[in-house]
Each structure stands twice: as structure tokens, then as C-alpha cells.
Amino acid sequence: MSNKVLVLPCLLLLHCYAVLTMETTAQEKAEAAIPVTTLSPPEGNTTFLGGTSWCVALSGVSQIDLQNALDWACGLGMADCKPIQQGGACFDPDTLVSHASYAFNNYYQQNGNSDIACNFGGTATLTNIDPSHGKCNFASPGSVRSSAPCLLSCKTSFLWLKFAGILLLLYLRR
């Protein structure tokens, strides 16, 4: 009987944790949508026809604007910036333009290669020349997964978890 009494609070805690986790993830993603001044063409996708495109930092733009865009890409933009940290495969050359190019491209590839995903307040541009160098490989279309939280699959697995909990409670009431 004591095992049955402990199961219910554990299931309730698990349920609360799952609900809070899903709500927190959705809230973080919503807060990550910071409006950026758009200097991209107003219509159409500028991805190069019949080829691959990469998003790179523009040289000659304000260093402050470039640093702010890099901070956003590696922070709220959720780009994978580990390779541009010291000791990473893309740390060298240790320049702001090089690091920003890697982060911008990672974000661009994660977000569907759309014009708006390669803007960064006018500090980035598209190229059809692979910027990879040495051991530093820049992502290309299909080589990175989206950083967006799962919606349908998470909801489905959460429903199964609830269903399993209800079945367990019914079993324990016998």
C-alpha cells in the first residue's frame, strides 16, 4: 500500500515538470524573436539557383554592429558557436569577421536558408563560395538541424506519458 501512495505524488511531480518544461521552452523561443531592421530584398529568396549558399559577415561594417549581431546569433539566435571558441576548429583566424561569418552561417542553415535568416541588421550577405578553410567546415543546406523546439512530436509523446500515468493509476486502484 505504501508503494501505491508514493506513486501518485511522483506522477504529479512528473506531470508538473513536463508542463513547466514545455511552457518554458515555448516562452524562451518567443522571447528570441527580436525584430531586426531588414535590409534584405523585399520579395523572393536570394539563395543561388542550382547551387549552395552560405551566409557570411560583410567586411567594412561597423565593428560594434558586427559584435552585436554575433552576440545575438550565439545567444538568442541559438547558433552553434562552440567551433569559434578558443581551441575550436574555427577559432583561427581569430577575427570578428571570421567568427561572425561562422555563427551567421550556422544560424542561416538552421533556419531554412531564407533571406531574413542572413541579414543580422545589414551586417551579413550571401555567397556561393564555400567559406570553409582548413579543419573549419561551414555548414551547408541539410547539414544542421533546426534549433526550434519540437511541437507535434513533443505533444504526442507528452500525451502518451499522460495516458501511461492514467493507466498506472487505474491499475493501482484495483
In a domain? residue 161: no
Q: For residue 63, what are the domain limits? A: 56-127
> Mind listing the pLDDT tens digit of every residue in the chain (174 residues)?
555 555 555 555 565 556 555 544 444 544 444 444 433 333 334 444 457 899 999 989 999 999 999 999 999 999 999 999 999 999 999 999 999 999 999 999 999 888 889 999 999 999 999 999 999 999 988 766 554 444 444 444 555 566 666 766 677 776
In a domain? residue 73: yes
In a domain? residue 150: no
* Structural domain total, the chain: 1
In a domain? residue 72: yes
Long-range contacts, stretch 134-139, CB < 8 angstroms, 24+ apart: 134/89, 134/92, 135/89, 136/83, 136/89, 136/90, 136/92, 136/102, 137/89, 138/54, 138/101, 138/102, 138/105, 138/106, 139/105, 139/106, 139/109, 139/110
In a domain? residue 18: no
In a domain? residue 20: no
In a domain? residue 169: no
